[in-house]
Amino acid sequence: MLVVIKALLIGFLSFLISLYITPLLIKVAVKFSIVDKPDGKLKRHEHATPYLGGLAIYFGFLVSSSLVMPFASGFGLFIISATILLFVGLLDDLIVLTPAQKFGGQFFAALCYMRVGFYLKCLFFTNICNIGLAFVWLLGLINAFNLIDVMDGLATTVALAVSCSYLMFAIFFGDVHLILLLVALIGSLVGFLWFNKPSARIYLGDAGSLFLGGLLACIPFAVSWSEYNPYGYLVPIFICVIPLLECGTLILVRTYKRIPFYRGSPDHFSIFLQQKGWSKWSILCLTFACTIFFACLAFFFFINQLSFITLVSAALLFLTWWYFNLVPA
């Protein structure tokens, strides 16, 4: 009961901090012209929109989680790693980094996360494979959240759905620290989403998308999935299905079009759906529902109430639907 009360208080505090700070950041961004200007191609919003939204989520999460997380447990180094990604993204928002500079910052942050202990610990693989796969996962999801942030509220909504899905597993594990950490993040995301929903008054910016991507990429490494289920390490892949599919699809489409995968193009599924007449709210509902659906499937698989074949079949059906309905021709 005490944990529930503490979680509610932490979540409400992070919500209030994010809700309070966001309007202030809007004013700061407008005053110093830290805005995203429409270009009629990839950026199709009507008016210049402030960046810096990621700072609201960061401070809401940092202040509230710091009240309950013991720094001796490695939480301090965990926050430093997250802060590195925040500043890399902030620099990109302010002065525009080259792809190599941006990737270098991400690589360094991933090293810091792994130094704290956030890497794959699967007995099925060797240590070298575990570390290599952890790097691919961290850098892949960091960039996936960066790529998906092209529509009002989209990256925030996906991050919220992924966080809620992780929370379901944290409650199942009875991991109090992880529960409080996720509740702090969820509260902060909800507070920011009020201003980031269509039509957005502020965007996450690269600072926010990189921060969220890194945070949500390292959380699965806080759990020894294979201790509960030998294939449990597959669960985070299904939870993060939307950003991972967005990232993979964009790489394939841009390669096919002979566009460097790191260069922006209007081949995002959210832009494609809007061109087909979908509203932004419909797209947000679709992505949230798909994330929660696959999280529930993964949970039933995890507790051995769903076979591996059934889970893979559902994934293949979804991939087929995604290819024929959400991938630009």
Return phi, psi of residue 35, to 5°. -130, 155
Please give the model's pTM, rounded to 2 decimal places.
0.93
pLDDT at 33: 83
Domain ranges (residues) in the chain: 29-35+43-326
H or E element at residue 240: none
Residue 238 CA neighbour count, 13 Å, CB half: 25
The tens-digit pLDDT sequence of the chain (329 residues) is 777 888 889 999 999 999 999 999 999 988 888 887 766 566 665 677 888 899 999 999 999 988 877 655 567 778 888 899 999 999 988 888 888 889 899 988 888 888 777 666 555 555 677 777 888 899 999 999 999 998 999 999 999 999 999 999 999 998 888 899 999 999 999 999 999 999 889 999 899 999 999 999 989 888 877 778 888 888 999 999 999 999 999 988 888 888 887 787 888 899 889 989 999 999 999 999 999 999 999 999 999 899 889 998 999 999 999 888 887 76
Angle between helices 241-256 and 308-326 (to 10 degrees): 50
Distance between CA 111 and CA 183 in Å, rounded?
Answer: 26
